[in-house]
A = this chain, B = another copy of it.
């Protein structure tokens, strides 16, 4: 294969591939490629999960935005995120404990062996890995977390229940802030809106946007809910130098929504 292609709604992103490095068939079909321009690339069930070139755009924005909105995030739950990128970013904060609940061990195994974007995060003594369905984990969880980050695949296949109302209701009982990747507001508007509605289980919810070149049409939504009024910007001093993309200006900018999206959200209720 010379070009890997991912298509959605009459458009497609092509990535020039040098070779396939690894492949596994667990409950999902996992592939790791070497690409010409984007470095290594992780694909699950035919969908690009990350490339080395732009994974920081995604991981830094899904992690640092909610973490910087919490006064003192010591205990964090990551759902999904088997590649380790989210874990790596969470560990840049002064956390005591991070639980990573990934449904598919093969994602972790392949990522650790071939991608290495976790940069040792999986070995960190503050980290506990649980191989389980995130929905079930949250349902019977008796622990409490400062921040939950839902770094899932698209809501088809194994990640589908993670976008349900029930999940948000259960999550609202065990955390102060939740942050979810919320799909493309353009080509996957119905999924974004579904997630937005279900996040009502939390008293307050906000949408923010980030540019992620290798995701469908490149514009990505995130929903952050719970205690989401504050921004502890002064803590950026400790992050600066460790981040490549995120900064406080970008944090604030991410919450600026275009007129058409504000309207979509207003209408959806």
User: Chain A: residues with CB nearer than 8 A to chain B?
Assistant: 3, 5, 7, 9-16, 35-38, 57, 186-187, 209, 211, 213, 217-219, 243-247, 249-250, 252-260, 262
Contacts and interface: CB of A to CB of B under 8 A. Distances in A.
A38 B186 CA distance: 11
Please name the 5 residue pairs, one residue from A and one from B, whose CB atoms are nearest each other, closest first: A218-B218, A10-B37, A12-B14, A253-B253, A253-B256
Contact of A12 (B9, B13, B35): B13
Contacts of A253: 252-256
Given A218-B217, A218-B219, A260-B245, A14 B9 contact: no
A16 B213 CA distance: 19
B5 A11 contact: no
Contacts of A16: 10-12
B245 A256 contact: no
Nearest to A61: B258
Contacts of A260: 244-245
A209 to B, nearest CB: 8
Contact of A10 (B7, B38, B219, B252): B38
Nearest to A209: B211
A38 B187 CA distance: 11
Contacts of A35: 10
A16 B260 CA distance: 24
Contacts of A15: 10-12
Contacts of A246: 258-259
B259 A243 contact: yes
A254 to B, nearest CB: 8
Contacts of A258: 57, 244-247, 250
Contacts of A247: 256, 258-259, 262
Given A11-B16, A245-B260, 20 more contacts: A7-B14, A9-B36, A10-B35, A10-B37, A11-B213, A12-B14, A12-B15, A12-B16, A13-B14, A14-B14, A209-B211, A211-B211, A211-B219, A217-B218, A244-B259, A245-B258, A247-B262, A249-B255, A250-B258, A253-B256
